[in-house]
Amino acid sequence: MAGVKVYTTESCPYCRMVETFFRKHGVEYEHVDVGKDREAAREMIRVSGQRGVPVTVFGDEVIVGFDTKRLKELFGTPIGKAVYDVAIVGAGPAGLTAAVYSARKLLKTVVIAENIGGQAAWSWAIENYMGFSTISGGELLHKFEEQVRGLDVRLELDSVRSIEREDDSFVVRMVTENVYRCRTVILASGKEPRRLGLPGEDRLMGRGVSICAICDAPLFRDKPVAVVGGGNAALQTAIEMKKFARSVVLVARSALRCDEVYVARAEEAGIRTFLNHEVTELHGEAALTGITIRDHETGEETALDVDGLFLAIGLVPNTRFLGDLVALNERNEILIDENGHTNVPGIFAAGDATCVKAKQIIVAAGDGAKAALSAHEYLESERGEEQTVCA
């Protein structure tokens, strides 16, 4: 299809999702890397008003981000009516590992996710995954994805609206109105970035405010930026942003809660840090022009002129779509046992959306394997009961 242009950056996982979608549906498109081409970046901002990627332009249509609903409305193809042995919701380390183990058990498998990689794909560098001394999140998850695509697994880029039990199967309904039927479900929906909750945040998202530094960093070359947060992700983002931005300010609500190695690196990079401060106001109409921060101890407010604000203030479980389908704890995490069982027979869970304490890639991958093995065991027991009844 002529006339489709996708503005991307090299490290953006959501950009890769858009391009994967187009390749899957046989849509021809023009790839434009705005991280390397400043004139193209200015063109993207002029056309869309966005300072974040991906942006897709098709005629008069401008699609911001990986908008599965709109992309499927314009370019999608109908799905079949097959009944799957297992539907895996989420394609991070837990979901992709579950897919590998399900495929090896010869289960008819579909993976449904808004993006491939989850929050792990946003990591600048991973230094604690066995087999790699250092690897970026995008590179590691690309290896996960390659392994899954080499198996008999259907991978659908879509967003789940609800899951319901109907007779002896489950019905997974999507925001695009697509429907998948399956005999078991593995929930591996992970977490999503926490927002500040300030007036103007939604309006300025993608117009200076960003939740994906690895995606948008090249668009803030030689500009002043701020990073909000005090954990490993925030420090790592601030350190990496020094490679692009003219200046970097770090704003943390309390003392830093990161590994000491990041504190030393931030000091070496000359990052200005405001501890015990919070962002209280965002400035700008069409784009971010600055922020106001307040000192918790003195109440003093400081105005900072920044063109970019990168949020790294934690994550919340992506479980709202579940309603009361399965039991959750007070943090809205899915309650599971040591083998990935939820309180509902036939529904299993793994990864950062669950109550498992250690939120680590390697733990999520292992729990994804356990959930798939438990789903296989459940299906085998169900088949055994069917054969006994038939006999």
Query: On the CB side of 95, how many CA atoms lie within 13 Å of its CA?
Result: 32
Instruction: Tell whether 187 and 323 lie within a shared domain.
Output: yes
pLDDT of residue 391: 46
| Cα(226)–Cα(251) distance, integer angstroms | 7
Cross-strand pairs, 162 = 173
DSSP string, 10-78: TT-HHHHHHHHHHHHTT---EEEETTT-HHHHHHHHHHH--SSS-EEEETTEEEES--HHHHHHHH---
Q: Which of 12, 15, 182, 212 is catalytic?
A: 212
Instruction: Tell whether 268 and 322 lie within a shared domain.
Output: no
Last residue of a domain, one of 75, 93, 120: 75
Catalytic annotation present for 216? yes
Q: What residues make up the domain containing 40?
A: 4-75
Supply the CATH number for residue 382's domain: 3.50.50.60
Residues 123-140: pLDDT tens digits? 878 888 899 988 988 889
Of 297, 83, 322, 298, the residue nearest 180 (C-alpha): 83
Instruction: Tell whether 187 and 327 lie within a shared domain.
Output: yes
Helices (H) and strands (E) in the chain, counts: 10, 21
Structure-token pair, residue 255: 């003392």
Catalytic annotation present for 67? no
pLDDT of residue 123: 80
pLDDT of residue 386: 61
**Residues written for the chain:** 391
Pairing of strands 247-251, 191-193: unpaired
Q: Which of 215, 258, 307, 352 is catalytic?
A: 215
Instruction: Tell whether 283 and 382 lie within a shared domain.
Output: no
Instruction: Tell whether 232 and 171 lie within a shared domain.
Output: no
Instruction: Tell whether 183 and 220 lie within a shared domain.
Output: no
pLDDT < 50: residue spans in the chain? 389-391
Q: Which residue has the tokens 């939740």?
A: 211
* Beta carbons of 156 and 110 less than 8 angstroms apart: yes
- With a CB cutoff of 8 Å and minimum separation 6, the contacts of 110 are 84, 86, 87, 88, 153, 154, 155, 156, 180, 182
Last residue of a domain, one of 75, 91, 122: 75
Number of compact structural domains in the chain? 3
Catalytic annotation present for 355? no
Q: What is the DSSP letter of 135?
A: B
* Beta carbons of 215 and 15 less than 8 angstroms apart: yes
Q: Residue 269: enclosing H or E segment and its boundaries?
A: helix 260-269
Last residue of a domain, one of 75, 96, 125: 75
Mark residue 202 as left, alpha or beta (left: phi above 0; alpha: psi -120 to 50; beta: remaining).
Answer: alpha
Instruction: Tell whether 87 and 152 lie within a shared domain.
Output: yes
Phi, psi of 328 (to 5 degrees): -120, 160
| Cα(116)–Cα(96) distance, integer angstroms | 9
Global pTM exceeds 0.85: no
| Cα(255)–Cα(275) distance, integer angstroms | 6
